Amino acid sequence: MITYRTATPADAQALARMRCAFLMDANDLDSEAQLGEMELVLLAYFATALADDSFVAWLALDGEKLVATSGLTFSLVPPNYSNQSGKVAYIMNMYTLPDYRRQGIAAELLKRTIEEAKSRGYSKITLHATDMGRPLYKKFGFSDSDGDMVLRV
């Protein structure tokens, strides 16, 4: 039976490992060695962000085994007509181990993530969808948004 709980700073290493597994899947990496120091950087991020509440996460567990995660970050941008509060929540770290997919686990995690954003007064929730995740997000009412651009410096 799958159980769910909110992550604590003590879960930072487990979240970092799951994020690395996601990065391997999403980027077609065939070796954890290709991630380099990523797990250490992620561990530092999750430990800090979980402690200061700038990131919240949920864990799905099969007994003691972590099988899926979801997460949510928060930011404040200048208000505009479509988002007068300026509050923007960003869903990230959604990942389910391959053997546990298509069982409703990700849907339950996404539901909890959306509920948390709403409870904190966030009416705009964004994410970057993989091809695999896109149908789930559409089912929950997310729509594609054109026009985003990125500059990496």
Q: Is the pLDDT of residue 69 over 90?
A: yes
pLDDT value at residue 28 = 76
More confident residue, 151 or 118: 118
pLDDT value at residue 130 = 87
- Going by pLDDT thresholds of 50, 70 and 90, the confidence category of residue 145 is confident
3-state secondary structure the chain: CEEEEECCHHHHHHHHHHHHHHHHHHCCCCCHHHHCCHHHHHHHHHHHHHHCCCEEEEEEEECCEEEEEEEEEEEECCCECCECCCEEEEEEEEEECHHHCCCCHHHHHHHHHHHHHHHCCCCEEEECCCCCCHHHHHHCCCCCCCCCCCCCC
pLDDT value at residue 149 = 61
- Please give the average per-residue pLDDT across 7-24, as a whole number: 94
**List of domains in the chain:** 2-139 (3.40.630.30)
* 18-51 residue pLDDT tens: 999 998 888 877 666 667 788 899 999 999 999 9
pLDDT value at residue 144 = 85
* 79-125 residue pLDDT tens: 989 889 999 999 999 999 999 999 999 999 999 999 999 999 998 99
